[in-house]
């Protein structure tokens, strides 16, 4: 699967606040990964499925759903109904405290 189109904006004294604007189409999928920081995902268009290490079931999300992924949660996003638009927020993107 190919990755989606992502634009990243970093702000803050150490560029620790990150916002990702994601445009994804059929066939797009994120890598299966976890982070050392919390992640907030807002679905604004389309439908995605989300596999995550802290839940047994793969869940489906559609416009205006809000998802919180605690740091360390391994996850993978797959486009189910395109086009997909996401806003992904990392409020404190620091690799280590």
The reply to whether 46 falls in a domain is: yes
The reply to whether 96 falls in a domain is: no
The reply to whether 97 falls in a domain is: no
Q: Is 51 left (phi over 0), alpha (psi -120 to 50) or beta?
A: beta
* Cβ-Cβ contacts under 8 Å for 96 (sequence gap 6 or more): 36
The reply to whether 71 falls in a domain is: yes
The reply to whether 9 falls in a domain is: yes
Cα dist from 47 to 7, 26, 69, 80, whole Å: 20, 11, 18, 5
The C-alpha atoms of residue 65 and residue 73 are separated, in whole angstroms, by 18
- Residue 83: asked if its preceding bond is cis (omega within 30°), the reply is yes
CATH number of domain containing 30: 2.60.120.10
Whole domain around residue 53: which residue ranges?
A: 5-90
Please compute the mean of the pLDDT values over residues 2-28 and round it to a whole number. Answer: 93
Banded model confidence at residue 3, pLDDT cuts 50, 70, 90: confident
Say which residue the tokens 């995605």 belong to.
Answer: 48
Banded model confidence at residue 96, pLDDT cuts 50, 70, 90: low
Q: What's the pLDDT tens digit per position in 55-91?
A: 999 999 999 999 999 999 999 999 999 999 999 999 9
Q: Which two tokens stand for residue 18?
A: 């990150």
Banded model confidence at residue 5, pLDDT cuts 50, 70, 90: very high
Please compute the mean of the pLDDT values over residues 43-58 and round it to a whole number. Answer: 98
| Number of domains the chain is built from | 1
The reply to whether 50 falls in a domain is: yes
The reply to whether 70 falls in a domain is: yes
Mean pLDDT, the chain, integer: 94
The reply to whether 95 falls in a domain is: no
């Amino acid at each position: 699967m190919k990755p989606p189109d992502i634009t990243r904006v970093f702000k803050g004294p150490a560029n620790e606040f990150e916002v990702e604007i994601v445009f994804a189409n059929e066939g797009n999928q994120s890598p299966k990964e976890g982070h050392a920081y919390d992640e907030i995902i807002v679905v604004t268009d389309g439908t995605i499925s989300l596999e995550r290490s802290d839940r047994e079931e793969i869940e489906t999300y559609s416009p205006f759903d809000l998802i919180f992924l605690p740091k360390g949660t391994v996850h993978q996003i797959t486009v189910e109904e395109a086009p997909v638009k996401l806003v992904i927020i990392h409020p404190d993107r620091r690799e280590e405290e």
